[in-house]
């Protein structure tokens, strides 16, 4: 009999996502079968493999083949990120990584759609039971959607944020909620809310116990996963969450109520025009990974509205992936641009190159009011990978973000 090889437990290390079965299950979270959970697990593992094992190979291919060939062809090499991106598209290593990344996103969306559509009636009924007649759901039937939302299936999500297939539909946000684990490999934590948890902790740490907001506005709230931790952290505040997608808002309120969070009102409106709210009526205005979903025309209007709505002494915080600047290599900028060209995020590339400080100034904020910082997802470290300790980089998807904002003086 052959000798048995003994492996010391400490020699076996696992740096992948947790099992899908440990995700948080609130009252309107979709049920998943064994096979559906296995599919999400595979996609989470594949995304992790692509970011930690395959993506570094793209960098090696660029250094060894693509950049030298570009330099030889032009006599000077890449001058912009677009030069790098166009050169990369001809390399087989990049092609392999890009095709697999796109495939995982499409499969993640279809996997989530199957989970939610097969139980659509039950999910819609649960949401209706939780939200019917509740004044904390303020919808605007027939509102004209911004073209940047209506024309695009953002990150390959069928119907984007707004599609309704039946009255009272919540299958879109249920798909988003159930499947984002696969895209991020669990980096957003048990309830996909580590961004909101991190922001609430940032505010308490940096503004201290004297900052007691009475009214908080969350713009582009989606299904509410990032605003709910803020509402929970400041239970005495009135929190208003705004989005254009009625299904997202229905799901958000149902999610909040099933989790025992009662101080959030979900309002359907265009955040570029929030004239329903009075001047200087909020102590804190927040957006989390939302600006890149808007447009070049819309974003300055959003900044102006936040300035108008903010009380003196109040704060506005925008949490986003980092801007492209002289400190970021052209290769990294090109890799981050992937989402704009291959993941239905058309404003991604432009949004990350604009001078946000200048736009904040144009909105009326002075330089001494501006805030620059960063936050990383805060999760249950015993179960989920902690973004703050993760040294891998999945350009555009890592749960670590930059913060630009302002504290209004007058």
**pLDDT tens figures, 63-122:** 999 999 999 999 999 999 999 999 999 999 999 999 999 999 999 999 999 999 999 999
**Average of per-residue pLDDT across 12-30:** 86
Q: What is the 3-state secondary structure (H, E, C) of 44-102?
A: HHHHHHHHHHHHHHHHHHHHHHHHHHHHHHHCCCCCCHHHHHHHHCCCHHHHHHHHHHH
Q: What is the mean pLDDT of residues 44-65?
A: 94
Neighbours of 250 (CB within 10 A): 27
Q: 320 by DSSP, 3-state: which?
A: strand
- Quote the pLDDT of residue 276: 96
Residue 333 has pLDDT above 90, yes or no: yes
What is the distance between the alpha carbons of residues 283 and 219, in angstroms, rounded to a whole number?
Answer: 14
Tokens of 8: 């010391």
N- to C-terminal Cα separation, the chain: 82
Encoded tokens for 326: 């002289």
Q: What is the pLDDT of residues 198-257, one digit of tens each?
A: 999 999 999 999 999 999 999 999 999 999 999 999 999 999 999 999 999 999 999 999
For residue 390, the model assigns a pLDDT of 72
**Cβ neighbours of 234 (radius 10 Å):** 21
8 A C-beta contact, residue 229 and residue 183: no
62 pLDDT above the threshold of 60: yes
Mean pLDDT of the chain: 93
**Residues 6+ away with beta carbon under 8 Å from 151:** none
Torsion angle defined by CA atoms of residues 329, 331, 337 and 343, in that order, rounded to the nearest 10 degrees: -140
CB of 286 within 8 A of CB of 271? Answer: no
Contacts of 132 (CB under 8 A, 6+ apart): none
Q: State pTM to two decimals.
A: 0.93
Choose between 10 and 287: higher pLDDT: 287
pLDDT of residue 67: 97
> Which of 3.40.50.150, 3.40.225.10, 2.130.10.10, 3.40.50.720 would CATH assign to domain 190-407?
3.40.50.150
Q: How many CA atoms lie within 13 A of 96 on its CB side?
A: 14
Task: Quote the pLDDT of residue 389.
Answer: 74
What integer is the mean pLDDT of 261-278?
A: 97
What digits encode the pLDDT tens for the residues 117-163? 999 999 999 999 999 999 999 999 999 998 888 888 999 999 999 99
């Amino acid at each position: 009999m052959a000798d048995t090889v003994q492996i010391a437990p400490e020699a076996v290390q696992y740096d992948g996502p947790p099992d899908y079965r440990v995700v948080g299950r609130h009252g309107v979270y979709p049920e998943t079968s064994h096979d559906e959970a296995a599919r999400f697990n595979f996609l989470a593992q594949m995304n992790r493999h692509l970011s930690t094992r395959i993506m570094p190979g793209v960098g090696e291919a660029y250094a060894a083949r693509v950049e030298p060939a570009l330099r030889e062809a032009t006599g000077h090499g890449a001058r912009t990120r677009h030069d790098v991106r166009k050169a990369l598209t001809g390399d087989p290593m990049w092609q392999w990584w890009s095709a697999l990344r796109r495939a995982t996103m499409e499969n993640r969306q279809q996997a989530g759609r199957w989970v939610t559509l097969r139980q659509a009636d039950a999910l819609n009924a649960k949401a209706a039971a939780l939200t019917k007649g509740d004044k904390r759901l303020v919808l605007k039937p027939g509102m004209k959607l911004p073209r940047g939302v209506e024309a695009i299936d953002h990150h390959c999500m069928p119907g984007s944020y707004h599609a309704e297939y039946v009255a009272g539909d919540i299958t879109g946000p249920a798909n988003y909620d159930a499947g984002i684990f696969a895209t991020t490999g669990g980096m957003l934590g048990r309830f996909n809310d580590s961004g909101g948890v991190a922001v609430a902790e940032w505010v308490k740490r940096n503004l201290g116990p004297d900052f007691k907001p009475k009214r908080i506005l969350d713009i582009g709230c989606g299904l509410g996963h990032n605003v709910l931790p803020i509402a929970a952290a400041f239970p005495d505040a009135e929190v208003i969450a705004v989005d254009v997608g009625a299904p997202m808002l229905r799901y958000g309120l149902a999610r909040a109520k099933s989790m025992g969070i009662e101080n959030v009102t979900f309002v359907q409106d265009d955040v570029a025009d929030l004239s329903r709210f009075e001047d200087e009526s909020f102590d804190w205005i927040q957006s989390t990974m939302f600006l890149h979903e808007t447009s070049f025309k819309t974003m300055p209007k959003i900044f102006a509205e936040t300035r108008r709505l903010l009380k003196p002494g109040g704060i506005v915080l925008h949490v986003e992936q980092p801007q492209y600047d002289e400190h970021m290599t052209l290769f990294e900028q090109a890799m981050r641009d992937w989402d704009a060209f291959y993941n239905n995020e058309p404003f991604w590339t432009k949004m990350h190159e604009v001078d946000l400080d200048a736009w904040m100034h144009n909105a009326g904020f002075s330089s001494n009011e501006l805030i620059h910082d960063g936050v990383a997802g805060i999760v249950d470290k015993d179960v989920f990978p902690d973004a703050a300790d993760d040294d891998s980089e999945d350009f555009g998807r890592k749960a670590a973000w930059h913060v630009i904002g302002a504290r209004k003086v007058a």
